[in-house]
Structures are given as structure tokens and as C-alpha cells.
């Protein structure tokens, strides 16, 4: 039994994913269950469980995720805008305990979110 998160297994090449970006700090790949025409997850290589588990030393990593998300949004032509979402914990409906930013675009989003 592996105690790696599903996203660590993607980084390790054990599970296939449609990668759109990789660098030394993070990777990004298409969500397997897209909620918008574009739905990409931007994920740090460090398996931080979630926003609730952040420490001050993670600040550069988190900033990097947003810069990469912005870059991917431009590369994928999300010129009309997009939405970044981070779910946290049970009430936030987080299902994978490895920090990730959802990049959603390609349709008009609704507000408030569900």
C-alpha cells in the first residue's frame, strides 16, 4: 500500500495525466473530471496537505502556483478571464489531501459558488 497522494503518484509517473506544465516546484495537468471547458490543477511537488497546513516557509511555493496558473491561463487562451479555486478540508469539499489550485475557464462562471 502506498501512502503517497494521488498527485505524488502522478509526479512519479505511476498514474498517467495530461501534463501542461512541469518545473522544479510544481506541475500542472488537466483535471480528470473537468467542471469547465478548461480545468487544470496546479500542484506543488511538496505534498502540503492543504491551505490549513501551510507554514510561513511555504509562501514562495504558493506564490509560484499562482504565477504558473496565470501563465497557463494565457497559454490556453483564457483571455476573457478565469477562476482559481482552492478547496480546504471537509467543509471546503477538498477530496485530495495535497494542495492544488483549480484553474477553471472557457465558460462564464456563476457566483456564489456551490
Q: Give the catalytic positions in this structure.
A: 100
Residue 6 makes contact with ligand AMP by CB under 6 A: yes
Residue 84 makes contact with ligand AMP by CB under 6 A: no
Contact criterion met (CB below 8 Å) for 100 and 41: yes
3-state secondary structure string across the chain: CCCCCHHHHHHCCCCCCCEEEECCCEEEEECCCCCCCEEEEEEECCCCCCHHHCCHHHHHHHHHHHHHHHHHHHHCCCCCCCEEECCCCCCCCCCCCCCCEEEEECCCCCCCCC
Q: Segment 51-70, which members bind ligand AMP (CB under 6 A)?
A: none
Residue 32 makes contact with ligand AMP by CB under 6 A: yes
Stretch of 19-27, 65-73, 74-82, 94-102 contacting ligand AMP, by CB under 6 A: 94-102
Residue 87 makes contact with ligand AMP by CB under 6 A: yes
Stretch of 30-38, 58-66, 73-81, 106-114 contacting ligand AMP, by CB under 6 A: 30-38
Q: What does the binding site for ligand AMP look like in residue numbers (CB under 6 A)?
A: 6, 15, 17, 29, 31-33, 41, 87, 93-96
Amino acid at each position: 500500500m502506498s501512502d503517497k497522494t494521488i498527485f505524488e503518484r502522478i509526479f512519479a509517473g505511476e498514474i498517467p495525466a495530461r501534463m501542461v506544465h512541469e518545473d522544479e516546484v510544481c506541475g500542472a495537468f488537466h483535471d480528470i473530471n473537468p467542471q469547465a471547458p478548461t480545468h487544470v490543477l496546479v500542484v506543488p511537488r511538496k505534498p502540503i496537505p492543504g491551505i490549513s497546513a501551510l507554514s510561513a516557509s511555504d509562501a514562495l511555493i504558493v506564490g509560484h502556483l499562482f504565477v504558473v496558473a496565470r501563465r497557463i491561463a494565457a497559454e490556453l487562451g483564457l483571455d476573457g478571464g478565469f477562476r482559481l479555486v482552492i478547496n480546504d478540508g471537509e467543509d471546503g469539499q477538498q477530496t485530495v489531501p495535497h494542495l492544488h489550485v483549480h484553474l477553471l475557464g472557457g465558460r462564464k462562471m456563476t457566483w456564489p459558488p456551490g
